[in-house]
């Protein structure tokens, strides 16, 4: 058998193992895989059981694994996380769904003071392997309580891992890693790209696509992991490094494409731990950096990125590091596209950075 | 595969069996129906039982205890009014109540349809539970402060809010008093003593207690009233509210609207096998469970709680047993999680029909008058809608000026927001 023939067979085999999935389906598939593999894994949260979740991410789990493993809960986020901690301490591996990231706050004490610190305060005796999934981000006319991106609050807490995928392939592999990780993981799902990539609302090249047409919408049906703490290079480039995650990866990619700037785009995927090696390698090559997120600006995760880049790349920088973020206001219902960081705002920042010689 | 065994308690012997699963003993509640099932509301125990007495509003909590597990009714299944809770309400007052309920229904129908046509981003109907907000609103004084959830739009009609203004809020146009910041139905109306509705469930419940504490602190007579859904009672805020209200004997009415569903989740997940009114007893607050589709009973029970609060005897918890006829909101299809037409099996009927039939029985009203009223209010809502659109639509505006999104974050705009606003203006 010739080498090329054997390669073709492998490729075919891999293709056969893959299916086109939306991000919702990929997340659902990750839950099916982990629940099939380990009876200690269960999902719990508001409307996740019989109904299959308001975004359909837990569909089919109730029928397949029963009411106790696709566990509908009372509406008390603090109670849900607290119960998940207790269940985790007693050998289970709960995957909590917060119906919206905006509704995590009633659970904040259980997350910050308990979940994140349990291992440390008990001298390593106790831990709770809880994953908290939360749909985040704007772009669905959700107003101020269905649009927030609170990831920066959690990266600020010691003891939590924080993840935000930007596509179905990553979502599944990262979620499986998160669930199988013995440390607590905050897993943010940008709901604007649940059903297709989104390029921003700008008139030029804006709008949404479908995951059917996207290479990362081809997702292995079986079990696989993407390690937490590894960034992905979406586009190699020489002029400037763009750091983004979640929905903004797609908006940034389109902004780069339409502007013709030779930017290197990194999808961080995991905010904590951060793949600082990949970030530093890129910025040391390009000498310029633009940081993008949808969350509010002040004390946001972008500030941490800017500090890290400055610390690791100071002697390579040829321009001040730029941040493109949401405004420091609640997410306004009528003005969500003026709030949402647009391609145009990104291109402006890229050009400002490139103007330094 | 992860090593889950590594986190087992010392000495634990429970390992998944050879089949890979434990034999679970965990109890998970069920509800009145799931699709394809025959609805069954018998677990609610909807009978008056011990609720057929009316203690004095200044009674000891223990003297009112049976009211927390029975069901206060005035209108029986045949539409006949009677019993110790029969309120003394004028004919005009009753007819006004009917009018408000019909208007709420007409408004809900119209706004729901407009959402389906893309004019609103979202909407929440109160169909089937109009008596709650309308009768309770009418039992309160205009100076009493309202801390509602999102399904008590009836309060706004009782308090006389301009319907065009309500609509302008729902389409975030240039006349929206929320300035385009809030999703539809999250009304605010300070002039009507109607608190800004939050998207985060139950937060208002304990805030209402604080408002009432301030009223008592200042020696005033105004009381506060607040509403929360059955599902939302699970939030800690509801328990905080009851504790503070009991501790400081706050002049507040804590209303729990048990409409059987919290999106797809049955009320049983929050009730845990008891009634919501009975929750109050542990806090030493009287709890009264009332037929929430009986306008007269809702009014009477609220009157009782108003008297108790205003006379300085403290809070009351009222559980209003009703039914959410529509979906949770425009975002869900209830046929996916409960029997199709489950509402037809709801044993407490429809609040509008019941009050109407009662008034017809007393010869204060007639079917032709009812039809004329419905037509009149439908017409009025259409007129209001056209007028609202003349102030701008969600998609095409005019809206508030975009830069106003930076206003009101603080009383005085700090420098970083001034800079951000300037950046936005330069982009435009
Ligand atoms: C803190 C918080 N958690 C979750 C939600 C999402 N949510 C909105 S309405 C709702 C159900 C509430 O049901 P219930 O309290 O019974 O009120 P109803 O809708 O029946 O009037 C849920 C879970 C929210 N808005 N806020
Ligand atoms: Mg409810």
Give tens-digit pLDDT for A294-333. Answer: 999 999 999 999 999 999 999 999 999 999 999 999 999 9
Mean pLDDT of A105-128: 98
- Distance from the Cα of B88 to chain A's closest Cα (Å) equals 39
Q: Does B411 touch chain A (CB under 8 A)?
A: no
Mean pLDDT of A67-96: 98
**Tokens (6 digits) for A47:** 């409307």
How many C-alpha atoms does A268 have within 13 Å on its Cβ side?
28
Residues from chain A that touch B405, judged by Cβ atoms under 8 A, are: 327, 329, 332, 335, 338-339
Closest CA to B182 of A147, A251, A216: A147
Say whether B4 and A92 touch across the interface (CB within 8 A). Answer: yes
Query: Does residue B153 line the site of ligand 1, with CB under 6 A?
Result: no
Closest CA to A324 of B181, B424, B406: B424
Residues from chain B that touch A333, judged by Cβ atoms under 8 A, are: 121, 172, 180-183
Name the average pLDDT for chain A.
Answer: 94
What is the predicted ipTM? 0.95
**Tokens (6 digits) for A310:** 């400055």
The per-residue pLDDT for A10 is 46
- Report the residue from A39, A75, A179 with minimal CB separation from B21: A39
Q: What is the largest CA-CA distance in chain A?
A: 64
**Tokens (6 digits) for B55:** 């203690």
Which residue among A77, A80, A97, A99 has the greatest number of ligand 1 atoms within 8 angstroms of its CB, and so is best to mutate? Answer: A99
* DSSP-based three-state secondary structure for A327: coil
Say whether A93 and B9 touch across the interface (CB within 8 A). Answer: no
3-state secondary structure chain B: CCCHHHHCCCCCCCCCCCCCCCCCCCCCCCCCCCCCCCCCCHHHCCCCHHHCCCCCCCCCHHHHHHHHCCCECCECCCCCECCCCCCCCCHHHHHHHHHHHHHHHHHHHHHHHHHHCCCCCCCCCCCCCHHHHHHHHHHCCCCCEEECCCCCCHHHHHCCCCHHHHHHHHCCCCCCCCCCCCCCCCCCEHHHCECCCCCCCCHHHHHHHHHHHHHHHCCCCCCEEEEEECHHHHCHHHHHHHHHHHHCCCCEEEEEEECCEECCEECHHHHCCCCHHHHHHHHCCCEEEEECCCHHHHHHHHHHHHHHHHCCCCCEEEEEECCCCCCCCCCCCHHHCCCCCHHHHCCCCCHHHHHHHHHHHCCCCCHHHHHHHHHHHHHHHHHHHHHHHCCCECCCECCCCHHHHHCCCCCCCCHHHHHHHHHHHHHC
- Distance from the Cα of A141 to chain B's closest Cα (Å) equals 7
**CA-to-CA distance for B309 and B251, rounded, in angstroms?**
4
Query: Does residue A51 line the site of ligand 1, with CB under 6 A?
Result: no
The per-residue pLDDT for B15 is 54
**CA-to-CA distance for B350 and A24, rounded, in angstroms?**
39
Beta pairing class for B261-262 and A93-97 = unpaired
Closest CA to B288 of B88, B84, B43, B80: B84
Distance B31 CA to ligand 1 centre (A): 17
Of B2, B329, B391, B413, which to mutate for an interface test with A (greatest number of A Cβ within 10 Å)?
Answer: B2
Element (H, E) at A14: helix A3-16
**CA-to-CA distance for A105 and A17, rounded, in angstroms?**
39
Query: Tens-of-pLDDT digits for all 428 residues of chain B?
Result: 444 445 555 554 455 655 567 999 999 999 999 999 999 999 999 988 767 899 999 999 999 999 999 999 999 999 999 999 999 999 999 999 999 999 999 999 999 999 999 999 999 999 999 999 999 999 999 999 999 999 999 999 999 999 999 999 999 999 999 999 999 999 999 999 999 999 999 999 999 999 999 999 999 999 999 999 999 999 999 999 999 999 999 999 999 999 999 999 999 999 999 999 999 999 999 999 999 999 999 999 999 999 999 999 999 999 999 999 999 999 999 999 999 999 999 999 999 999 999 999 999 999 999 999 999 999 999 999 999 999 999 999 999 999 999 999 999 999 999 999 999 999 87
Task: Looking at the CA of residue A46, tell me the nearest atom of ligand 1.
Answer: 23
The per-residue pLDDT for A173 is 98
Element (H, E) at A346: helix A343-354
Residues from chain B that touch A127, judged by Cβ atoms under 8 A, are: 7
Question: Is the model's pLDDT at A6 over the cut of 70?
Answer: no
- Report the residue from B24, B34, B176 with minimal CB separation from A50: B34
CB A225 within 8 A of CB A166: no
**Tokens (6 digits) for A73:** 């809960």
* Cβ neighbour number for residue A176 with a 10 Å cutoff: 21
Task: Looking at the CA of residue B199, tell me the nearest atom of ligand 1.
Answer: 25
The per-residue pLDDT for B253 is 99
Which residue among B201, B258, B342 has the greatest number of ligand 1 atoms within 8 angstroms of its CB, and so is best to mutate? Answer: B201
Q: What are phi and psi of B362, to 5 degrees?
A: -90, 10
Q: Alpha-carbon torsion B57, B59, B64, B68, what sign?
A: positive
Query: Does residue A105 line the site of ligand 1, with CB under 6 A?
Result: no
Query: Does residue B232 line the site of ligand 1, with CB under 6 A?
Result: yes
**CA-to-CA distance for A340 and A137, rounded, in angstroms?**
9
- Give residue A207's pLDDT band: very low, low, confident or very high (50, 70, 90): low
**CA-to-CA distance for A355 and B199, rounded, in angstroms?**
44
Of A74, A109, A147, A194, which to mutate for an interface test with B (greatest number of B Cβ within 10 Å)?
Answer: A74
Query: Does residue B263 line the site of ligand 1, with CB under 6 A?
Result: yes
Which residue in A32, A146, A199, A214 is the catalytic one?
Answer: A146
Please state, in angstroms and as integers, the Cα–Cα distance from residue A28 to each residue in A23, A94, A129, following that order.
8, 15, 19
The per-residue pLDDT for B14 is 53
Distance A130 CA to ligand 2 centre (A): 29
Closest CA to A27 of A95, A94, A91: A95
> What value, to the nearest 5°, has the Cα angle with vertex B44 and ends B42 and B45?
75
- Distance from the Cα of B264 to chain A's closest Cα (Å) equals 6
Say whether A76 and B269 touch across the interface (CB within 8 A). Answer: no
- Distance from the Cα of B24 to chain A's closest Cα (Å) equals 8
Residues from chain B that touch A328, judged by Cβ atoms under 8 A, are: 409, 416-417, 420
Check if A223 is active-site.
Answer: no
**CA-to-CA distance for A264 and A256, rounded, in angstroms?**
9
Closest CA to B349 of B99, B120, B75, B117: B75
Query: Does residue B133 line the site of ligand 1, with CB under 6 A?
Result: no
Closest CA to B158 of B103, B229, B226: B103
**CA-to-CA distance for A288 and A309, rounded, in angstroms?**
10
Element (H, E) at A243: strand A240-244
- Give residue A206's pLDDT band: very low, low, confident or very high (50, 70, 90): low
Query: Does residue B282 line the site of ligand 1, with CB under 6 A?
Result: no
Say whether B180 and A105 touch across the interface (CB within 8 A). Answer: no
**CA-to-CA distance for A235 and B223, rounded, in angstroms?**
62
B256-295 residues labelled b (16+ CB within 10 A) or e (exposed): bbbbbbbbbbbbbbbbeeebbbbbbbebbbbbbbbbbbbb
Q: Which of residues 66-95 of A touch B (CB under 8 A)?
A: 66-69, 71-76, 78-79, 88-93
Ligand 1 atom 13, closest CA = B262
- Using CA coordinates, name the residue in chain A closest to B335: A51
* Cβ neighbour number for residue B37 with a 10 Å cutoff: 13
Of A201, A334, A336, which to mutate for an interface test with B (greatest number of B Cβ within 10 Å)?
Answer: A334
- Using CA coordinates, name the residue in chain B closest to A182: B2
Q: Does B243 touch chain A (CB under 8 A)?
A: no
The per-residue pLDDT for A54 is 97
Residues from chain A that touch B419, judged by Cβ atoms under 8 A, are: none
């Amino acid at each position: 058998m010739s080498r090329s023939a054997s390669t073709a067979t492998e490729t075919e085999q891999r293709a056969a193992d893959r299916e086109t999935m939306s991000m919702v389906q990929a997340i659902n598939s990750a839950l099916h895989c982990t629940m099939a593999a380990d009876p200690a894994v269960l999902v719990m949260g508001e409307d996740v059981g019989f109904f299959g979740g308001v975004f359909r991410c837990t569909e089919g789990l109730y029928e397949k694994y029963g009411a106790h493993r696709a566990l509908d809960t009372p509406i008390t986020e603090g109670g849900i996380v607290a119960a998940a901690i207790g269940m985790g301490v007693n050998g289970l591996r709960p995957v909590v769904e917060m119906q919206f990231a905006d509704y995590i706050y009633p659970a904040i004490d259980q997350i910050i003071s308990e979940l994140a610190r349990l291992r440390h305060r008990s001298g390593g005796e106790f831990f709770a392997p809880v994953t908290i999934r939360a749909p985040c981000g704007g772009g669905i006319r959700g107003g101020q309580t269905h649009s927030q991106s609170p990831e920066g609050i959690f990266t600020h807490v010691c003891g939590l891992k924080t993840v935000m995928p930007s596509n179905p392939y990553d979502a599944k592999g990262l979620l499986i890693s998160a669930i199988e990780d013995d440390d607590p993981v905050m897993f943010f799902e940008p709901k604007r790209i649940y059903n297709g990539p989104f390029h921003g609302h700008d008139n030029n090249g804006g709008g949404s696509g479908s995951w059917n047409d996207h290479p990362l919408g081809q997702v292995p049906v079986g079990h696989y992991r993407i390690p937490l703490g590894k960034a992905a290079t979406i586009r190699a480039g020489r002029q400037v490094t763009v750091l983004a995650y979640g929905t903004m990866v797609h908006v940034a990619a389109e902004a780069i494409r339409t502007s013709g700037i030779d930017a290197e785009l990194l999808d961080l995927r995991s905010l904590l731990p951060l793949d600082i090696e990949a970030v530093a390698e890129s910025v040391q090559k390009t000498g310029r950096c633009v940081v993008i997120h949808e969350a509010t600006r002040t004390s946001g995760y972008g500030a941490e990125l800017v500090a890290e880049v400055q610390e690791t790349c100071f002697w390579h920088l040829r321009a001040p590091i730029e941040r493109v973020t949401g405004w420091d206001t609640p997410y306004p219902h009528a003005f969500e596209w003026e709030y949402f960081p647009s391609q145009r705002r990104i291109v402006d920042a890229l050009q400002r950075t490139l103007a330094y010689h | 595969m992860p090593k889950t065994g590594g986190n087992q308690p010392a000495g634990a012997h429970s390992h998944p069996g050879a089949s890979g699963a434990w034999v679970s003993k965990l109890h998970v509640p069920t509800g009145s129906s799931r699709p394809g099932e025959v609805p069954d509301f018998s677990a609610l125990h909807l009978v008056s039982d011990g609720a057929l007495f009316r203690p004095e509003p200044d009674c000891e909590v223990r003297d009112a205890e049976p009211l927390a597990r029975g069901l206060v009714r005035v209108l029986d299944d045949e539409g006949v009014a009677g019993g110790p809770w029969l309120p003394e309400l004028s004919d005009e007052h009753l007819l006004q109540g009917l009018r408000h309920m019909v208007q709420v229904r007409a408004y809900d129908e119209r706004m729901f349809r407009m959402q389906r046509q893309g004019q609103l981003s979202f909407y929440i109907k109160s169909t089937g539970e109009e008596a709650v907000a309308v009768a309770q609103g009418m039992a309160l004084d205009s100076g009493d402060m309202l801390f509602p959830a999102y399904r008590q739009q009836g309060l706004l009609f009782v308090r006389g809010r301009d319907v065009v203004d309500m609509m302008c809020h729902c389409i975030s146009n240039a006349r929206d008093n929320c300035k385009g910041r809030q999703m539809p139905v999250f009304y605010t109306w300070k002039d009507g003593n109607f608190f800004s509705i939050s998207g985060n469930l139950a937060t208002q419940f304990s805030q209402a207690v604080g408002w009432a504490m301030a009223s008592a602190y200042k020696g005033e007579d105004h009381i506060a009233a607040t509403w929360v859904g059955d599902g939302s009672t699970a939030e800690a805020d509801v328990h905080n509210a009851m504790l503070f209200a009991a501790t400081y004997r706050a002049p507040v009415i804590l209303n729990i609207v048990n409409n059987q569903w919290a999106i797809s989740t049955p009320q049983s997940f929050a009730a845990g096998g008891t009634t919501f009114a009975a929750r109050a007893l542990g806090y030493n607050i009287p709890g009264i469970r009332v037929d929430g589709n009986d306008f007269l009973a809702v009014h009477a029970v609220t009157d009782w709680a108003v008297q108790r609060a205003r006379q300085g005897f403290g809070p009351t918890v009222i559980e209003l047993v009703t039914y959410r006829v529509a979906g949770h909101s425009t975002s869900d299809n209830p046929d996916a999680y409960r029997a199709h037409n489950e509402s037809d099996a709801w044993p407490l009927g429809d609040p509008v029909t019941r009050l109407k039939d009662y008034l017809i029985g007393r010869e204060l009203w007639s079917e032709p008058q009812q039809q004329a009223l419905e037509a009149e209010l439908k017409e009025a809502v259409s007129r209001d809608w056209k007028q609202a659109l003349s102030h701008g639509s969600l998609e095409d505006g005019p809206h508030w000026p975009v830069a106003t999104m930076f206003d009101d974050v603080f009383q005085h705009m700090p420098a970083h927001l001034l800079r951000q606003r300037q950046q936005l203006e330069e982009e435009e």
